[in-house]
């Protein structure tokens, strides 16, 4: 915990944690409360289909004024599903938003959709940018394996014009993501097409975020999250 007051600990478990006894909770309370430390428990991965926090975890979050998050274990054999990785990233992002003083200025989730693999087809969808957004839009594809993303990544603006994504594409191997950033993105209905080569037990995840206008409060819009006493399956 250290001696710095007001710190934040994001506590990520390795599987289902042991229950916290009343004695454990009392010891934790004596450590964190005088130092104004907040603890965010992230239970990952949980083997239960509908995971719930073990005894004491909910109390630990409550006593420090935070929330807990639980990510269900999903996979085939030793291969985890990309959906579990996406759920973990969303939980961590949501946890960070609790504490950032400038959270209102963070990119906001406009659209998300999962496209199952095994079909070898073109995955397509649409989303809407309205005038409350500040003009920068990021279109992201999250994958389990880079080979699961086909050569086709097409963005079509509200005027029906294809956006040349070839020079806009960036890849981040650390988070298994390809993203396209469009500055001064026009408001209106956008469409997209993505080559989907994911295996039958995997998926591609599409996320679109955009920067909010300075006068738009987080009370009106916000990132979709797995927050509070909720879980992801």
Q: What residue segments make up the domains of the chain, in order of their start?
A: 8-102, 107-212
Which 8-state DSSP code applies to residue 230?
Answer: E
Q: Give the confidence band of 207 by pLDDT, cuts at 50, 70, 90.
A: very high
Cβ contacts of residue 157 below 8 Å, gap of 6+? Answer: 163, 185, 186, 188, 190
51 pLDDT more than 80: no
Q: pTM of the full predicted structure?
A: 0.76
Residues of the chain by 3-state class (helix, strand, coil), percent to 5: 20, 40, 40
Cα gap 215→134, rounded to integer Å: 10
Higher pLDDT, 192 or 133: 192
Cα gap 37→32, rounded to integer Å: 5
102 pLDDT more than 80: no
Neighbour count for residue 214 (Cβ, 10 Å):
8
Neighbour count for residue 147 (Cβ, 10 Å):
10
Neighbour count for residue 165 (Cβ, 10 Å):
17
Cα gap 102→40, rounded to integer Å: 19
* CATH numeric code, 107-212: 2.60.120.380
20 pLDDT more than 90: no
């Amino acid at each position: 915990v250290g001696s710095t007051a007001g710190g934040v600990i994001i506590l990520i478990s390795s599987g289902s944690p042991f229950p916290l006894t009343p004695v454990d909770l009392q010891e934790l309370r004596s450590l964190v409360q005088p130092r104004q430390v907040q603890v965010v428990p992230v239970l990952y991965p949980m083997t239960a289909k509908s995971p719930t926090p073990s005894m004491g975890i909910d109390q630990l979050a409550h006593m420090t004024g935070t929330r807990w998050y639980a990510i269900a274990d999903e996979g085939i054999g030793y291969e985890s599903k990309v959906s579990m990785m996406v759920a973990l990233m969303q939980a961590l992002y949501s946890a960070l938003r609790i504490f950032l003083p400038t959270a209102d200025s963070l990119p906001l989730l406009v659209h998300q959709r999962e496209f199952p693999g095994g079909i070898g087809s073109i995955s397509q969808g649409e989303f809407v940018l309205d005038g409350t957004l500040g003009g920068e839009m990021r279109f992201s594809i999250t994958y389990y394996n880079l080979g699961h993303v086909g050569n086709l990544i097409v963005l079509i603006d509200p005027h029906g014009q294809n956006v040349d994504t070839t020079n806009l594409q960036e890849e981040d191997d650390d988070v298994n993501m390809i993203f396209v950033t469009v500055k001064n993105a026009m408001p209106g209905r956008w469409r997209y097409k993505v080559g989907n080569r994911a295996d039958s037990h995997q998926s591609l995840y599409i996320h679109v975020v955009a920067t909010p206008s300075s006068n738009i409060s987080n009370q009106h819009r916000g990132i979709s999250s797995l927050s509070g006493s909720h879980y992801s399956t």
